[in-house]
C-alpha cells in the first residue's frame, strides 16, 4: 500500500479543518506523535482509527487509504432491450471495469425474441454475444443459485450478490424500470441508476481526444477514405466530433455521403453515440438524415448498431422523430419499418403533432391509413386539433372518405 498517498490525504483532512496536529489528535483520541507518523508516511491508521476519522470528519476509508474503487454495471432487461447500444457505451468507457448481465435477463430476452419485441430482442442478443467474444474480461453473464421470486427480484438479487462480492467497488444497477428504483437497497456500494442519470455521470465527451486527429478523421470520412479514417481514429480522434463548419458528426457525414461501409464502421465503434444530433438548423440525429435521403439500407445499419428509433430532433421543430419525418414525406415503407421495430406512433413533437397528424397535414393518404389504427385518435396538437380535424382541413377527398369509413 502507498503510505505517501494516505499521508497526503490525512494532512489534507487536517489542514482543511484548520486544526493543529494536537487538535487533530485529540479529536481522534490518539497522540500527537501518531498523527505526525501518519503525515510522514511512517505508518497508516489502524482499522479502528480509520473508522474514527470517518465518524469525525465524514471521509470514507477508501479516500483515506486512497483506494481507487472499480466501477461495475449490472444491466436490467429493459435497458438492454430499449438501448442495446448501451453495452457499446459501457465497454468504451475506461472508467468502467466490468459489465454483468444476470442470466435472468438473457432468459427474458430469449422469450421476447420468440414472442413480443422480436427485432429489439434479437438485436440485443446479437450485441451481447458479439461483445462477450471481443471483451471476455469485461462483459460476463452470471447465474445466482439462490435467486427466487419474480424475474425483477432475481435481477435485484444478482446485483446485490455482485455488490457483496465486490465490497471495494461501486456497483450500479442500470435500469429504466421504476420497480428497481423503489426497491430497498441496503448496501452502501450498490446504487440504482436510470438512463438519464447514467448519461450525466458517464457522458461521452471530447475529454482525452486528440483535436487534430479529430479534424483529420472527419476529413477522411467526408472524403470516403475508410482506411485513413481508421488510422486517424486509432490516433485519438473523437468519433463524436462535431465539425465547426457543417455541424455534422462523422457518423452524420457518412450518412449524408450515402456511404454504407463508413456508416457501419463508425456506428459500431464502442465510443460512438449514434443518437447525437447535428449542430445544424434542425439538429437531427443520423437516423433522421438517413430517412430524409430515402436510404433504407443506412437506416437498417444504424438500427442494427443500436440507434434509438424514437430519437428526437433538438432544433426548430424539437421532438421530430424518424417516424414523423417518414410520414410527413409519405415514405410508407419507412413508416412500416419503424413501427415494426418499436417506434411509438403516439409520440408528439413540439407542435403536438403525431406521425398520423403529420400524414394528414401533408395529405399522405397511404401513411395515414397505416398509422390510423395504431395511433390514439383522441390525441390533440397544441392547437387543440385531432388527426381528423387536420384531415378535414386538408380537403383531400380520399383522406376524408377513409376517416368516415374508419
Question: What is the DSSP annotation of 156-190?
Answer: HHHHHHHHHHTTTEEEEEE---HHHHHS----TTE
Within this chain, do residues 220 and 281 fall inside the same structural domain, yes or no?
A: yes
pLDDT at 114: 79
Q: Say if CB 400 and CB 392 are below 8 A apart.
A: yes
- Among the candidates 201, 229, 244, a domain finishes at 201
pLDDT at 365: 96
pLDDT at 202: 76
- Among the candidates 201, 233, 268, a domain finishes at 201
Span 59-110, pLDDT tens digits:
877 777 766 678 999 999 988 887 776 887 788 777 888 999 999 999 999 8
pLDDT at 288: 98
Within this chain, do residues 188 and 135 fall inside the same structural domain, yes or no?
A: yes
- Among the candidates 318, 347, 362, a domain finishes at 318
DSSP state of 111: H
Q: Which residue range forms the structural domain that includes residue 83?
A: 71-201
pLDDT at 282: 83
Span 139-173, pLDDT tens digits:
999 988 888 888 888 999 999 999 888 877 889 99
Within this chain, do residues 169 and 83 fall inside the same structural domain, yes or no?
A: yes
Q: Looking at the domain assignment, is residue 354 inside a domain?
A: no
Q: What is the number of structural domains in the chain?
A: 3
Strand 70-75 vs strand 98-102: parallel, antiparallel, or unpaired? parallel
Least trusted range by pLDDT, from 117-121, 253-257, 329-333: 117-121
> What CATH number should be reported for the domain holding residue 297?
1.25.40.20
Query: Whole-angstrom Cα distance, residue 218 to residue 239?
Result: 9
Judge residue 194's burial from the number of C-beta atoms within 10 Å of its C-beta, 0-12 exposed, 13-18 middle, 19 or more buried. Answer: middle
Phi-psi region of 362 (alpha: psi -120 to 50; beta: other; left: phi over 0): alpha
Cβ within 8 Å of residue 30, ≥6 positions away: 49
Each as own residue / partner, the long-range contacts of residues 36-44 (CB below 8 Å, 24 or more positions apart, any chain) are: 38/6, 38/7, 38/10, 39/7, 39/10, 39/11, 39/14, 40/7, 41/3, 41/4, 41/6, 41/7, 42/3, 43/3, 44/1, 44/3, 44/6
| pTM given for the model | 0.57
- The mean pLDDT of the chain is 89
Between the alpha carbon of residue 32 and those of residues 28, 37, 270, 287, the distances in Å are 10, 9, 52, 65
Query: Whole-angstrom Cα distance, residue 83 to residue 124?
Result: 8
Q: Looking at the domain assignment, is residue 283 inside a domain?
A: yes
Question: Is the confidence at residue 339, as pLDDT, over 90?
Answer: yes
> What CATH number should be reported for the domain holding residue 41?
1.10.260.40
Span 104-120, pLDDT tens digits:
999 999 888 877 667 77
pLDDT at 206: 52
Within this chain, do residues 293 and 197 fall inside the same structural domain, yes or no?
A: no
Between the alpha carbon of residue 293 and those of residues 259, 341, 397, the distances in Å are 12, 20, 29
Q: Looking at the domain assignment, is residue 182 inside a domain?
A: yes
Q: Looking at the domain assignment, is residue 79 inside a domain?
A: yes
- H or E element, residue 140: strand 139-142
pLDDT at 322: 97
Q: Looking at the domain assignment, is residue 394 inside a domain?
A: no
pLDDT at 175: 87
Within this chain, do residues 75 and 150 fall inside the same structural domain, yes or no?
A: yes
The CA radius of gyration of the chain, in Å to the nearest whole number, is: 27
Span 344-358, pLDDT tens digits:
999 999 899 999 999
Query: Whole-angstrom Cα distance, residue 349 to residue 272?
Result: 26
Amino acid at each position: 500500500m502507498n503510505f505517501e498517498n494516505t499521508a497526503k490525504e490525512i494532512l489534507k483532512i487536517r489542514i482543511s479543518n484548520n486544526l493543529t496536529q494536537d487538535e487533530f489528535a485529540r479529536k481522534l483520541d490518539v497522540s500527537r506523535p501518531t498523527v505526525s507518523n501518519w503525515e510522514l508516511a511512517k505508518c497508516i491508521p489502524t482499522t479502528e482509527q480509520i473508522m474514527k476519522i470517518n465518524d469525525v470528519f465524514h471521509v470514507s476509508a477508501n479516500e483515506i487509504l486512497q483506494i481507487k474503487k472499480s466501477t461495475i454495471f449490472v444491466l436490467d432487461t429493459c435497458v438492454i432491450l430499449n438501448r442495446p447500444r448501451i453495452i457499446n457505451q459501457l465497454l468504451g468507457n475506461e472508467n468502467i471495469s466490468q459489465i454483468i448481465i444476470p442470466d435472468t435477463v438473457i432468459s427474458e430476452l430469449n422469450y421476447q425474441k420468440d414472442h413480443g419485441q422480436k427485432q429489439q430482442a434479437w438485436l440485443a442478443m446479437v450485441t451481447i454475444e458479439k461483445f462477450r467474444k471481443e471483451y471476455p474480461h469485461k462483459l460476463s453473464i452470471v447465474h445466482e443459485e439462490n435467486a427466487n421470486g419474480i424475474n425483477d427480484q432475481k435481477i435485484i438479487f444478482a446485483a446485490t450478490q455482485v455488490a457483496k462480492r465486490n465490497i471495494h467497488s461501486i456497483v450500479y444497477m442500470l435500469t429504466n424500470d421504476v420497480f428497481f428504483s423503489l426497491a430497498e437497497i441496503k448496501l452502501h456500494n450498490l446504487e440504482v441508476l436510470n438512463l438519464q442519470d447514467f448519461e450525466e455521470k458517464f457522458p461521452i465527451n471530447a475529454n482525452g481526444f486528440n483535436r487534430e486527429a479529430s479534424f483529420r478523421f472527419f476529413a477522411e470520412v467526408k472524403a470516403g477514405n475508410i482506411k485513413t479514417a481508421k488510422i486517424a481514429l486509432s490516433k485519438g480522434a473523437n468519433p463524436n466530433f462535431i465539425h465547426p463548419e457543417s455541424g455534422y458528426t462523422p457518423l452524420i457525414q457518412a450518412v449524408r455521403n450515402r456511404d454504407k461501409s463508413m456508416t457501419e464502421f463508425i456506428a459500431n465503434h464502442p465510443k460512438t453515440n449514434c443518437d447525437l444530433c447535428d449542430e445544424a438548423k434542425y439538429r437531427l440525429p443520423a437516423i433522421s438524415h438517413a430517412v430524409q435521403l430515402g436510404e433504407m439500407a443506412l437506416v437498417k445499419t444504424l438500427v442494427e448498431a443500436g440507434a434509438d428509433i424514437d430519437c428526437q430532433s433538438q432544433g426548430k421543430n424539437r421532438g421530430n422523430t424518424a417516424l414523423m419525418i417518414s410520414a410527413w414525406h409519405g415514405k410508407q415503407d419507412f413508416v412500416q419499418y419503424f413501427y415494426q421495430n418499436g417506434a411509438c406512433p403516439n409520440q408528439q413533437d413540439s407542435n403536438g403533432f403525431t406521425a398520423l397528424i403529420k400524414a394528414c397535414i401533408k395529405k399522405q393518404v397511404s401513411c395515414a391509413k397505416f398509422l390510423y389504427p395504431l395511433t390514439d385518435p383522441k390525441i390533440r396538437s397544441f392547437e387543440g386539433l385531432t388527426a381528423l380535424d387536420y384531415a378535414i382541413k386538408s380537403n383531400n377527398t380520399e383522406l376524408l372518405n377513409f376517416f368516415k369509413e374508419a
